[in-house]
Homo-oligomer: A and B are copies of this chain.
């Protein structure tokens, strides 16, 4: 309808939440690895990329800065944060505690239907990692989505929006192309992940609060450990100027 000149990704011209929109899109590009870790974020480049001026881009970058995804060096511009392994471990210890709380709260609130939804999500995740070509990019994407769904579902069932947000905030600090590959790449990890989810599910179904929290905590800690190790070995995904 309206003539969109240079914007490849649709930057909703609602005239309203444009800045939030930009932030979201830049965040996505980082999370998917399209913009690699350590890369410089040039205001002018992003601006022309989205077909806007630098002003809203700068505001979007400020948002990403406070959410911790990028770092802004005065007079030198923004770079995508490169999480140190110990930072990952610290963050995931926090996330583990939060998700454990979510699981514990979920026990009292979960319905049979929701248990089924979780089972489905977990099964889908497993299937995606078993299907042929599980190492292709779209398959990894599907796998990640199912895995995310499992966790976000439990968070939302917990009935505490703030808790969901806190968990999400931590997640969005670490680009996903990295974290997703962990599980898919390795058959053992993929299997373990599935079974850990099953154990959590069982605890939820049985109404065992302590067990649900414990299993979730261990599960997240383990995932964090894998992610941290990945960051230790990484080099291919880091942008080197």
Contacts and interface: CB of A to CB of B under 8 A. Distances in A.
A90 interface: yes
Contacts of A15: 74-75
Interface in A50-85: 55, 58-60, 62-63, 65-67, 74-75
Contact of A66 (B66, B74, B90): B66
Query: Is the contact region of chain A dominated by helix, strand, or loop, or is it mixed?
Result: helix
Contact of A91 (B74, B90, B162): B162
A160 B87 CA distance: 9
Interface string A86-99: 01001101100110
Given A63-B62, A166-B166, A94 B87 contact: no
Given A97-B101, A166-B166, 20 more contacts: A14-B74, A16-B74, A17-B74, A19-B62, A55-B55, A59-B62, A60-B62, A62-B62, A62-B66, A63-B65, A66-B67, A87-B162, A90-B161, A90-B162, A93-B101, A93-B162, A93-B163, A94-B98, A94-B163, A98-B98
Interface of A: 14-17, 19, 55, 58-60, 62-63, 65-67, 74-75, 87, 90-91, 93-94, 97-98, 101, 160-163, 166, 170
